[in-house]
Copies of this chain bind each other. A is one copy, B any other.
Amino acid sequence: MNSPHTLFEHALADAARLAEESLDALLPKVTGPEAPVLEAMRYAALGGGKRLRAFLVIQSGSLFGVDRRSLGRVAAAVECVHAYSLVHDDLPAMDDDDLRRGKPTVHKAFDEATAILAGDALLTHAFALIGSPEAHGDPFVRCELVTRLAQASGHAGMVGGQMMDMAFEGKAPSLAEITRMQRMKTAALLNFSCEAGAILGKASQPMRNALQAYGQELGLAFQIADDLLDAEGDAGETGKAVGKDAERGKTTVVSVLGAERARMQAKALAEQAVRHLDLFDRKADFLRAAAGFVIERRA
């Protein structure tokens, strides 16, 4: 008999497979003198990662019976945005990382110019994917996805959060400032991933709000777990350099509260996330299980 844990892992692996297949089909084929940027797009977006954002799109959408083709396409778009943000954040002028999931980062495997352009192209491609009729038959739904994705990823979301993260280096931001930064930098796209399923499924406003709130808390819990891995993790297991936050003088929830209280905080956020799912039945069990997953993961 399968344990709930194993079932969750199956669902996560299934989401990863759908995301990977969709990305492979929807990313441009490598050809012509512009080949390096096309190859770098594929290098950045394919072949790895937990695909947590794809999982959230797929599971949220499944609550409302959204068809798999729409889900695959929107999951691919969200993963394109995630991949773009990693490529740009890893650049020498930003976090200057050489290693990502155990592989050289894009500017190391290619060069800086190609990495900048591949990030730009992945971001742009995400909007092409969700704006197209194949994402959903109703153009109103597609427009909702476009504007909400733009808000989550732009100056009021991921980009603004990354700017704040850099501005805080060597400073001593308050816990409230760190939380606002993480809401923008990390939680916004997880939040959108959950909301996207609701938008695709034309969910009622209360259900849409609940999924957004779930995504928000999940995102904050996820980020604390990430900071704990950086503070205590193993480079071999995580596939990226560790101890970088301390090295850069980054203030995190972990450095402010200490590991033990940070871990309790992550747990409390994960529990809060799950409570937002109270108005859904057993179909939301995989989303409930995801809250445990994000705070217990080892990589």
Q: In angstroms, how far is the closest chain B Cβ from the Cβ of A32?
A: 8
Contacts of A150 in B (CB 8 A): 124-125, 127-128, 131
- Cα–Cα, bound, A167→B140 (Å): 40
Q: Is the CB of B168 within 8 A of A33?
A: yes
Q: Does A146 sit at the interface, judged by CB under 8 A?
A: yes
Q: Determine if A116 is an interface residue (Cβ-Cβ < 8 Å).
A: yes
Interface size class of chain A, counting residues whose CB lies under 8 Å from the partner chain: 35 or more
- The complex places the Cα of A138 from the Cα of B173 at a distance, in Å, of 44
Majority SS of interface residues in chain A?
Answer: helix
Please tell me which stretch of A35-43, A205-213, A221-229, A274-282 contacts chain B, meaning at least 4 of its Cβ atoms lie within 8 angstroms of it.
A35-43
Interface centre among A41, A119, A127, A164 (most CB of B within 10 A): A127
Closest to A138 in B: B139
What residues of B have a CB within 8 angstroms of the CB of A111 in the complex? Answer: 93
Give chain B nearest CB distance to A133 CB in angstroms: 8
Chain B contacts for A142, CB-based, 8 A:
139, 143, 146
Instruction: Report B-chain residues with C-beta under 8 Å of the C-beta of A164.
Output: 32-34
Q: List 11 A-B contacts (CB under 8 A).
A: A88-B120, A94-B116, A121-B155, A121-B160, A125-B155, A127-B150, A128-B154, A132-B143, A139-B139, A142-B146, A143-B143
